[in-house]
Amino acid sequence: MQQKESHYMAIGRVYATALYDSAQRAGQMADVTADIESIGALLAAAPRLDSFLKAATVNTAEKLKLLEQAITGSVNALTLSVLHAMARRDRLDMLREFTAAFDVVQRDRNNRLSIEIVSAQALPDDEKRRIAEAAGRSLGRQIDLTASVDASLLGGVQLKIGDMFIDGSVKRRLRAMKSQLHSGMLAGLNQARAAQA
């Protein structure tokens, strides 16, 4: 499933990059960005629409018709053009990945990087600021940091930097120790059995 999602995101990025570049040239970035944000919000608010767009049993014309009905208000011609291009290639099932990819492309082009940090306890604001500043200096980018809490981590942090995931949680370390102990015990038992045979 992870491989399929990566493939979808890569294809979504192709469409997102084309739309971003077209909007930039046409001076319509604000309108196009608003369109993409609206579509992303619509998919988040209406999971049945997302499921409908992903359904293999529904033909592309029906998907496009419903999508056009669901997009309220005026949509920029450039945005509509890309949606039609996706429909022609039967890729409306990748709409969620396309909207996510547009955000990534926009951040890349503006030299921004999104970092998500999950910790066992809430981080103080000054610590979040220090993390963002240190990451910005190290990576040479402007950092958009979001922080959340997951008490099940027990300690340490999990980081998502762009597409990279780093798990430095106590929970992960305990799982690794348990696995090592289990492997060591099995190896010891196997040696003992071999010695008795």
- Residue 98's domain is classified under what CATH number? 1.10.520.20
Residue 74 lies in a domain: yes
Indicate the number of domains in the chain: 2
Q: Where does a domain end: 92, 108, 124?
A: 108
For residue 46, what are the CA distances in angstroms to 58, 82, 96? Answer: 17, 21, 12
pLDDT of 3:
47
In the chain, which stretches have pLDDT less than 70?
Answer: 1-5, 72, 163, 197
For the stretch 145-148, contacts whose Cβ atoms lie closer than 8 Å and that sit 24 or more positions apart, written own/partner, are 145/115, 145/116, 145/117, 146/114, 146/115, 146/116, 146/117, 147/116, 147/117, 147/118, 147/119, 147/122, 147/123, 148/116, 148/117, 148/118, 148/119
User: Residue 4, CB half-sphere, CA atoms under 13 Å: how many?
Assistant: 4
Indicate if 39 and 53 belong to the same structural domain. yes
The reply to whether 162 and 85 lie within a common domain is no
pLDDT digits (tens, 9 = 90+) for 129-174: 898 888 888 888 888 888 999 888 888 888 888 767 888 787 777 7
* Full residue range of the structural domain in which residue 47 is found: 2-108
Same domain, 95 and 43: yes
Residues 7 and 103 in one domain: yes
Please tell me the predicted confidence (pLDDT) of residue 5.
53
108 has which bridge partners? none
Whether 36 contacts 99, CB under 8 Å: yes
Alpha-carbon distance of 187 to 109, in angstroms, equals 52
